[in-house]
C-alpha cells in the first residue's frame, strides 16, 4: 500500500503526452481490465489510443505505426498468448516498429512469462496490478535525434512509420521549429491533396460519418487517404483517451489508409496544435485526400476554414443542436450540412427547418443532405457532393 | 442509518451500507423503512424468502461445475469424470470461436480452438460431446449466446438422432444476448436481430421442449465487468423484462413461457450484500410478473437462479487462499436461496482449472451441503434487521434504475446510447481507484503478501487439439451432401428475412451437417454484423 495518493504519483511531467496503444487481439471480449488501464493511464497524463475488440496482429502493428506509439499494451485473457503475441511481434517487425515497448496484461501462467519475454515482451501484468505500478514501469520514449533527411525521403515513399514520426516531431518542443522550416515551402493548396474538415458537436456521429467516407473513397482505386482525428485533452492532467479511430477503421489494415489521433488542448478551437504543418507533411507524403475531424466543441471553429477546402457540418435530429449552431452563426462556415441518423423520427422536420433557415445574406445556401448509416440513405448524394 | 452512496448524477450505483450509528441496526430501523420491507413466508408470493417452502430440506441445490476444453471427446471425458464424482448436472463451456459463431477452420479462430472451452462445429461434435451420457436423465447447461439458436439446433438434432424425445430433455441454454451488449461482448449481429433470435428460441422451446430453460438471464458477466451488486441486479432484471415484453409481442401468453425463464447471478465477496441481492431479485421479479405482465401461475412468479462464485475476486498471489474466498461466496449463494451453484477453482487466474482443483471446488459445495448444517434451515437470515434493510434498499435502488432506463427510451435505446457500458465502466474504474488507494484490502495482494512462490499445477491444452478438430471438421465436410446443405442454408436465409421462427430451419440445416459458421453466415447475410463503438 502506498502512502501517497495515485494523483500525486502521477506528477511525472516527462510522461505527459507519452503515446500508448492499448489493444485487444483475437476473439477475446474481456475488456474490463484494458478499459480501466486506459482510463488510469489517461489520468496519469498519457495519450492513450484504444484499438477496440477483435483486432488482428497486423491491424495492431498498423495502429502502432500510424500513432507513433512508444508503448503497446496487449490485453489477453483467452489463453492464446503464446500464439497471438509472436504474431504481433512479427507484424511489428514487418512494419518497422519492433522498437515499441511491448507489454502484455491479463491471465498469463507464470511458466509462460519467460517464453513471452524471449519473444520480445518487456513487461507482463496480471490481476491485482495497480495503475501506479503500470505508470511507474512506463518510461517516456527515448530522446533520439531525428534524421530529418531520411524521414522526409521515406515519407515521400509513403512509409507510415516515418510519416507518423514527422507528425509527432511537428508538435515537439525540440523539433517543432525545424519541421516547420523544413516544410515551409510545401503548400498543401498547391498539391493535389484535397482537405475535408468534419465538424459538429460531440457525440453527433462525426467518426461514424468518416468511417462511411473512408469506405466510399477507398472503393476508388489508389486513393491515398489520411485522417487526423482530434480528441480532447484533459486540462488538468494533460492526458487523453483517443477513441475516434476505433469507430473508423475495420480490423484489416490498408497501406493506403493512414489514421492519426491527436490530443487537443481546450481553447484551441477544437483543433490540435500545428495542424497546418501536419497538412504539409501529409501533402508531401503523397496523400490524395485528408479528412480532419474536429473535437466538436461547437463554438469558435472558424479556424478550420483556413485548413480545409471543404467544411462538412454534422448534425443529428432530436439534439437541439441546430439551435446552437444557428445562434453561434456558424452555418455559414459549412460548405455542406449533413444530418446523421435521418431514419430517426424528427429528421424530416429538422431537414425542412434547416432548408428554410439557411440562406446566407447573399442569397446562397449550402446543400443539406440527410444520411443514415442503417439504411444507407443519402450516401450517394453525399459522396457526389464531396466530389 | 442507511446511506446510499450516489453517482455524480444522484442515482445510487453502489449498494447501500447499513450501519447504525454504532454499527448495528434494530427493530426501530426496520420499522422506519419506507416503503416497509415485504418479508413474507418461504414458498409464497413474493418469494423474498425463497421459492420453495422447504428449500434445501426438500432438495439440495444442483452442484453444477462449468467445464469444457479441447475437442468434444476431451470434454466428454471430463463430463463423465464429474458425474462419477457426484456432480448432479452438466455445464458446457464453449471455446471462443464457437461463442463467436465461427468454425474451427476460420482464419480468425486460429490459436483459439478448444482453448477456453470445447470446439463445436457440427451436430457430430455435439453427438460426441454427450456420447454415453443419458440426456433424458441428466440436466445439461450450455453457455452460449450469439449463436445460441444454432447450438440448440445441434442439441435437438443430436437428441433426435439418438431417439430421445425433446420433451424428456432438461437443461438450460444461456441465450442472453443483452448482457453481451452490456458487458461480455460476444456479439455477432446488431441488437435488434440478436434479440429476435433469443425470442425465437424462447418461443420454440415453450412449444416443443417444455422442460428446457430457454434463457438464463445473466448478471454474472455484468458483475465481472465491474458493475456493483445493485447494477447487476437492476440490469439483469431489466434484461428479463425486455425478453418478456418481446415474447408477449409474439402473442404467447405470459404463463406459457415465464416458468422457463431462469436467472444467473454472481456470488461476490460482500456476504450480506449478496444475500440481500438474491432476496430482492426474487421479490422484484414476482412483483413484475404479477403486476406488470399479469402472470397468474405461481410458477411464472418464481425467480429461479444459478449462482457462480466471482471469477474476478480470485487472485494469482497465494492461490490457495482462493479456496477460502470461494467457500464464503458459495455460502452467500446458498443462504440467498440459489437453485444451482458453480464454485470456481483456485487456479483460474492462472489457467483453466486442473482436475484436482475442480474436485476441490466441488468438495467445497459438498461440505457446505452436508457438514455445515446451513441446508437444514429455510432462509435463516429472514427477519435479520441488517439483511431485511439491505434487501429493501436493493429493491428500491433497482426500481430507480428501471425508471432511468425507461427515461432513456427503453432497452434498445439505452444500449445504443451506451448507457449500460458507461455505467459499468464507471464502477470498474471507481473500484480500481479505491483499490489503488488501499481502500480495499485483498489478502495476499496489498496486505499479508508472501514471497513464497506457490505455483499450483496448471492444466495445459494439448497443442494438437486444433489439428485434431480441423481434421474431424474436414471429415464431416467430405461426407455430407453439399446440395442438401446449400438448400437448408437458403431456407435459413429466407426464414430470417421473412421473420419466421428460425429454430425448425436451423435444426433441418444441422441434420445436413451444415456447420455453425455456415449457419451464422447465412443469418449474417440477412442481419448484418455489429461492432462496438466505445464512447
Overall number of domains in chain A: 2
Subunit contact A109:B458, Cβ cutoff 8 A: yes
Asked if the structure places residue A187 within a domain, the reply is no
Tell me, yes or no, whether A258 and A359 share the same domain: yes
Distance CA B439, CA A385 (A): 57
Tell me, yes or no, whether A344 and A280 share the same domain: yes
Q: What is the pLDDT of residue B273?
A: 97
Asked if the structure places residue A111 within a domain, the reply is yes
What integer best gives the mean pLDDT of chain B?
Answer: 92
Q: What is the mean pLDDT of residues A143-168?
A: 94
pLDDT for A7 beyond 70: no
* B-chain residue closest to A128, CA distance: B445
Residue pLDDT, tens place only, B233-261: 999 999 999 999 999 999 999 999 999 99
Distance CA B191, CA B324 (A): 39
Q: What is the pLDDT of residue B534?
A: 65
Q: Which of B312, B413, B420, B533 to probe the A interface (max A CBs under 10 A)?
A: B533
Domain boundary among A120, A137, A154: A137
Q: What is the pLDDT of residue A304?
A: 83
Chain B residues in contact with A50 by the CB 8 A cut-off are 534
pTM, two decimal places: 0.91
Could you give the angle at the alpha carbon of B148 between the alpha carbons of B142 and B149, nearest 5°? Answer: 130
Percent of chain A scoring above 70 in pLDDT: 90
Domain boundary among A98, A116, A137: A137
**CB < 8 Å from B in window 130-159 of A:** 130-132
Chain B residues in contact with A346 by the CB 8 A cut-off are none
Residue A3 pLDDT level (bands cut at 50, 70, 90): very low
Q: Strand B62-63's sheet: what is its strand order? A: B62-63, B340-342, B305-309, B261-267, B215-218
Distance CA A106, CA B7 (A): 28
Q: What is the pLDDT of residue B96?
A: 95
- The CATH number that applies at residue A17 is 3.40.50.280
A365 contacts chain B (CB < 8 A): no
B442 contacts chain A (CB < 8 A): yes
Sign of CA dihedral B7, B10, B11, B12: positive
Burial class (CB in 10 A: 0-12, 13-18, 19+), B219: buried
Q: Are B212 and B257 in contact (CB under 8 A)?
A: no
Residue pLDDT, tens place only, B269-315: 999 999 999 999 999 999 999 999 999 999 999 999 999 999 999 99
A100 contacts chain B (CB < 8 A): no
Q: What is the mean pLDDT of residues B83-100?
A: 90
The CA-based dihedral angle spanning residues B407, B410, B412, B414, taken in that order and rounded to the nearest 10 degrees: 30
Q: What is the mean pLDDT of residues B321-335?
A: 98
Chain B residues in contact with A32 by the CB 8 A cut-off are 224-226, 312, 428
Asked if the structure places residue A249 within a domain, the reply is yes
**CB < 8 Å from A in window 170-199 of B:** 184-186
Phi, psi of B343 (to 5 degrees): -105, 130
Tell me, yes or no, whether A114 and A201 share the same domain: no
Tell me, yes or no, whether A238 and A98 share the same domain: no
Residue pLDDT, tens place only, A180-204: 999 998 887 778 899 999 988 888 8
Q: Count of CB contacts below 8 A, A vs B? A: 111
Residue B323 pLDDT level (bands cut at 50, 70, 90): very high
Subunit contact B100:A132, Cβ cutoff 8 A: no
Report which of residues A222 and A164 the model is more confident about.
A164
Contacts of B413 (CB under 8 A, 6+ apart): none
Tell me, yes or no, whether A332 and A202 share the same domain: yes
What integer best gives the mean pLDDT of chain A?
Answer: 87
Asked if the structure places residue A171 within a domain, the reply is no
Q: What is the mean pLDDT of residues B491-495?
A: 98
Residue B18 pLDDT level (bands cut at 50, 70, 90): low
Helix (H) or strand (E) holding A230: strand A225-232
Q: Are B217 and B243 in contact (CB under 8 A)?
A: yes
The 3-state DSSP class for residue B91 equals: strand
Subunit contact B349:A107, Cβ cutoff 8 A: yes
pLDDT for A1 beyond 70: no
Tell me, yes or no, whether A355 and A253 share the same domain: yes
Subunit contact A110:B350, Cβ cutoff 8 A: yes
Distance CA A60, CA A85 (A): 11
Tell me, yes or no, whether A27 and A117 share the same domain: yes
Could you say which of B115, B435, B533 has the minimum Cβ distance to residue A79? B115
Q: Are B64 and B340 in contact (CB under 8 A)?
A: yes
Residue pLDDT, tens place only, B400-452: 999 999 999 999 999 988 999 999 999 999 999 999 999 999 999 999 998 87
Could you give the angle at the alpha carbon of B231 between the alpha carbons of B225 and B235, nearest 5°? Answer: 90
> Which grid cell sits at B155?
442439441
Q: What is the mean pLDDT of residues B28-57?
A: 92
User: Own/partner pairs for B435-444, CB < 8 Å, 24+ apart?
Assistant: B435/A130, B436/A6, B436/A40, B436/A130, B436/A131, B436/A132, B437/A5, B437/A6, B438/A1, B438/A2, B442/A128, B442/B315, B443/B318, B443/B321, B444/B315, B444/B317, B444/B318, B444/B321
Rounded to the nearest angstrom, the minimum Cα separation between A104 and chain B is: 14
Rounded to the nearest angstrom, the minimum Cα separation between A304 and chain B is: 24
Domain boundary among A122, A137, A152: A137
Tell me, yes or no, whether A205 and A74 share the same domain: no
Subunit contact B316:A127, Cβ cutoff 8 A: yes
B452 contacts chain A (CB < 8 A): no
Q: What is the mean pLDDT of residues B169-188?
A: 97
Distance CA A372, CA B365 (A): 54
A107 contacts chain B (CB < 8 A): yes
Question: Which residues sit opposite A293 in a β-bridge?
Answer: A198, A229
Rounded to the nearest angstrom, the minimum Cα separation between A112 and chain B is: 10
- The CATH number that applies at residue A244 is 3.40.50.300
Tell me, yes or no, whether A216 and A358 share the same domain: yes
Residue A316 pLDDT level (bands cut at 50, 70, 90): confident
Asked if the structure places residue A246 within a domain, the reply is yes
ipTM of the complex: 0.88
Rounded to the nearest angstrom, the minimum Cα separation between A78 and chain B is: 7
Subunit contact B96:A27, Cβ cutoff 8 A: yes
Q: Which of B106, B350, B352, B527 to probe the A interface (max A CBs under 10 A)?
A: B350
Asked if the structure places residue A40 within a domain, the reply is yes
Q: Are B358 and B68 in contact (CB under 8 A)?
A: no
Subunit contact B446:A1, Cβ cutoff 8 A: yes
Subunit contact B438:A1, Cβ cutoff 8 A: yes
* B-chain residue closest to A76, CA distance: B112
Subunit contact A27:B315, Cβ cutoff 8 A: no
Q: What is the mean pLDDT of residues B379-392?
A: 95
A346 contacts chain B (CB < 8 A): no
Residue A378 structural domain: 192-386
> Which grid cell sits at B160?
433426435
Q: Are B364 and B327 in contact (CB under 8 A)?
A: yes
The CA-based dihedral angle spanning residues A189, A193, A194, A197, taken in that order and rounded to the nearest 10 degrees: -90
B109 contacts chain A (CB < 8 A): yes
**CB < 8 Å from A in window 202-231 of B:** 224-226
Chain centroid, CA A38 distance in Å? 15
Tell me, yes or no, whether A204 and A97 share the same domain: no
B181 secondary structure, DSSP code: I
Could you say which of B112, B116, B316 has the minimum Cβ distance to residue A128? B316
* B-chain residue closest to A245, CA distance: B533
Tell me, yes or no, whether A332 and A198 share the same domain: yes
Q: What is the pLDDT of residue A292?
A: 95
> Which grid cell sits at B440?
480495499
Chain centroid, CA B301 distance in Å? 19
Q: What is the pLDDT of residue A329?
A: 61
Tell me, yes or no, whether A133 and A196 share the same domain: no
Distance CA A371, CA A55 (A): 28
B409 contacts chain A (CB < 8 A): no
Subunit contact A35:B535, Cβ cutoff 8 A: no
Distance CA A165, CA B298 (A): 68
Produce one character per residue of B102-137: b if its CB has 16 or more CB atoms within 10 Å, e if not: bbbbbebbbbbbbbbbbbbbbbbbbbbbbeeeebee
Q: What is the pLDDT of residue B2?
A: 41
pLDDT for A326 beyond 70: no
Asked if the structure places residue A95 within a domain, the reply is yes
Q: Are A27 and B96 in contact (CB under 8 A)?
A: yes
The CA-based dihedral angle spanning residues B415, A32, A44, B318, taken in that order and rounded to the nearest 10 degrees: 160
Asked if the structure places residue A268 within a domain, the reply is yes
* B-chain residue closest to A84, CA distance: B111
Amino acid at each position: 500500500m502506498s502512502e501517497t495518493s495515485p494523483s500525486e504519483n502521477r506528477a511525472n511531467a516527462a510522461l505527459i503526452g507519452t503515446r500508448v496503444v492499448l489493444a485487444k487481439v483475437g476473439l477475446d471480449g474481456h475488456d474490463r481490465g484494458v478499459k480501466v488501464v486506459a482510463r488510469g493511464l489517461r489520468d496519469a497524463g498519457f495519450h492513450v489510443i484504444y484499438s477496440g475488440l477483435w483486432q488482428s496482429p497486423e491491424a495492431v502493428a498498423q495502429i502502432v505505426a500510424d500513432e507513433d506509439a512508444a508503448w503497446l499494451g496487449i490485453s489477453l485473457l483467452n489463453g492464446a498468448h503464446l500464439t497471438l503475441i509472436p504474431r504481433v511481434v512479427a507484424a511489428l517487425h514487418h512494419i518497422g516498429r519492433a522498437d515499441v515497448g511491448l507489454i502484455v496484461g491479463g491471465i498469463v501462467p507464470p511458466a509462460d512469462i519467460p517464453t513471452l519475454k524471449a519473444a520480445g515482451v518487456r513487461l507482463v501484468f496480471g490481476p491485482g496490478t495497480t495503475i501506479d505500478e503500470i505508470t511507474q514501469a512506463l518510461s517516456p520514449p527515448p530522446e533520439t535525434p531525428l534524421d530529418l533527411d531520411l524521414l522526409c525521403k521515406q515519407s515521400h515513399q509513403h512509409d507510415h512509420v516515418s510519416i507518423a514520426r514527422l507528425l509527432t516531431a511537428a508538435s515537439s518542443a525540440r523539433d517543432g521549429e525545424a519541421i516547420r522550416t523544413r516544410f515551409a515551402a510545401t503548400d498543401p493548396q498547391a498539391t493535389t491533396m484535397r482537405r475535408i474538415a468534419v465538424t459538429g458537436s460531440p457525440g453527433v456521429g462525426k467518426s461514424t460519418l468518416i468511417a462511411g467516407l473512408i469506405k466510399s473513397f477507398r472503393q476508388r482505386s489508389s486513393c491515398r487517404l489520411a485522417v487526423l482525428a482530434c480528441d480532447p485533452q484533459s486540462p488538468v492532467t494533460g492526458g487523453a483517451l483517443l477513441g475516434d479511430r476505433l469507430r473508423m477503421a475495420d480490423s484489416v489494415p490498408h497501406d493506403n489508409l493512414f489514421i492519426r489521433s491527436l490530443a487537443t488542448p481546450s481553447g484551441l478551437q477544437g483543433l490540435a496544435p500545428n495542424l497546418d504543418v501536419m497538412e504539409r507533411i501529409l501533402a508531401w507524403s503523397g496523400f490524395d485526400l485528408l479528412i480532419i475531424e474536429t473535437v466538436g466543441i461547437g463554438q469558435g471553429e472558424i479556424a478550420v476554414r483556413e485548413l480545409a477546402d471543404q467544411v462538412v457540418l454534422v448534425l443529428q435530429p432530436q439534439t437541439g443542436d441546430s439551435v446552437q449552431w444557428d445562434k453561434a452563426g456558424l452555418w455559414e462556415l459549412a460548405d455542406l450540412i449533413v444530418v446523421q441518423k435521418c431514419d430517426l423520427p424528427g429528421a424530416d422536420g429538422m431537414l425542412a427547418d434547416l432548408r428554410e433557415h439557411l440562406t446566407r445574406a447573399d442569397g446562397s445556401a449550402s446543400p443539406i443532405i440527410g444520411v443514415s448509416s442503417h439504411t444507407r440513405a443519402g450516401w450517394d448524394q453525399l459522396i457526389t457532393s464531396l466530389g | 442509518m442507511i446511506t446510499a452512496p450516489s453517482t455524480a448524477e444522484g442515482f445510487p450505483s453502489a449498494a447501500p451500507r447499513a450501519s447504525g450509528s454504532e454499527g448495528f441496526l434494530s427493530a426501530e430501523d426496520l420499522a422506519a423503512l419506507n416503503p416497509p420491507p415485504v418479508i413474507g413466508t418461504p414458498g409464497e408470493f413474493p418469494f423474498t424468502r425463497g421459492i420453495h417452502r422447504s428449500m434445501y430440506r426438500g432438495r439440495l441445490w444442483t452442484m453444477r461445475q462449468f467445464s469444457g476444453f479441447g475437442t468434444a471427446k476431451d470434454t466428454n471425458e471430463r463430463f463423465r469424470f464429474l458425474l462419477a464424482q457426484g456432480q448432479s448436472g452438466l455445464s458446457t463451456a464453449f471455446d471462443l470461436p464457437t461463442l463467436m459463431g465461427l468454425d474451427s477452420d476460420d482464419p480468425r479462430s486460429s490459436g483459439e480452438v478448444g482453448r477456453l472451452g470445447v470446439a463445436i462445429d457440427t451436430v457430430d461434435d455435439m453427438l460426441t460431446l454427450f456420447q454415453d451420457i443419458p440426456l433424458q436423465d441428466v440436466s445439461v447447461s450450455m453457455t452460449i449466446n450469439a449463436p445460441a439458436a444454432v447450438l440448440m439446433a445441434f442439441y435437438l438434432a443430436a437428441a433426435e438422432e439418438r431417439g430421445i424425445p425433446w420433451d424428456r430433455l432438461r437443461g438450460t441454454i444461456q441465450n442472453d444476448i443483452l448482457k453481451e451488449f452490456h458487458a461480455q461482448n460476444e456479439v455477432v449481429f446488431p441488437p435488434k436481430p440478436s434479440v429476435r433470435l433469443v425470442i425465437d428460441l424462447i418461443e420454440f422451446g415453450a412449444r416443443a421442449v417444455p422442460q428446457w430453460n430457454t434463457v438464463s438471464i445473466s448478471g454474472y458477466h455484468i458483475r465481472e465487468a465491474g458493475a456493483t451488486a445493485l447494477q447487476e441486479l437492476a440490469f439483469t432484471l431489466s434484461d428479463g423484462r425486455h425478453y418478456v415484453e418481446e415474447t408477449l409481442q409474439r402473442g404467447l401468453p405470459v404463463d406459457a413461457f415465464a416458468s422457463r425463464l431462469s436467472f444467473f447471478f454472481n456470488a461476490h465477496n460482500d456476504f450480506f450484500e449478496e444475500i440481500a441481492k438474491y432476496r430482492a431479485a426474487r421479490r422484484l421479479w414476482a412483483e413484475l410478473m404479477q403486476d406488470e405482465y399479469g402472470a397468474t401461475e405461481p410458477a411464472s412468479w418464481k425467480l429461479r437462479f444459478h449462482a457462480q462464485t466471482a471469477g474476478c475476486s480470485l487472485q494469482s498471489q497465494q492461490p490457495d487462499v482462493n479456496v477460502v474466498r470461494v467457500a464464503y461466496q458459495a455460502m452467500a449463494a446458498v443462504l440467498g436461496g440459489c437453485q444451482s451453484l458453480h464454485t470456481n477453482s483456485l487456479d483460474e487466474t492462472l489457467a483453466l482449472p486442473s482436475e484436482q482443483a475442480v474436485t476441490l471446488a466441488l468438495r467445497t459445495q459438498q461440505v457446505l451441503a452436508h457438514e455445515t448444517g446451513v441446508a437444514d434451515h429455510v432462509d435463516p437470515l429472514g427477519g435479520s434487521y441488517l439483511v431485511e434493510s439491505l434487501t429493501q434498499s436493493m429493491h428500491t435502488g433497482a426500481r430507480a434504475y428501471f425508471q432511468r432506463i425507461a427515461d432513456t427510451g427503453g432497452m434498445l435505446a439505452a444500449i445504443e446510447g451506451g448507457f449500460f457500458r458507461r455505467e459499468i465502466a464507471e464502477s470498474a474504474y471507481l473500484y480500481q481507484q479505491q483499490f489503488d488507494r488501499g481502500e480495499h484490502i485483498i489478502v495476499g495482494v496489498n496486505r499479508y503478501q508472501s514471497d513464497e512462490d506457490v505455483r499450483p499445477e496448471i492444466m495445459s491444452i494439448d497443442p494438437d487439439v486444433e489439428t485434431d478438430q480441423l481434421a474431424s471438421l474436414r471429415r464431416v465436410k467430405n461426407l455430407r451432401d453439399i446440395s442438401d446443405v446449400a438448400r437448408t442454408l437458403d431456407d435459413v436465409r429466407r426464414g430470417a428475412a421473412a421473420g419466421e421462427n428460425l429454430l425448425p430451419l436451423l435444426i433441418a440445416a444441422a441434420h445436413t451437417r451444415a456447420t455453425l459458421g455456415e449457419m451464422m453466415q447465412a443469418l449474417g447475410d440477412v442481419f448484418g454484423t455489429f461492432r462496438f463503438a466505445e464512447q
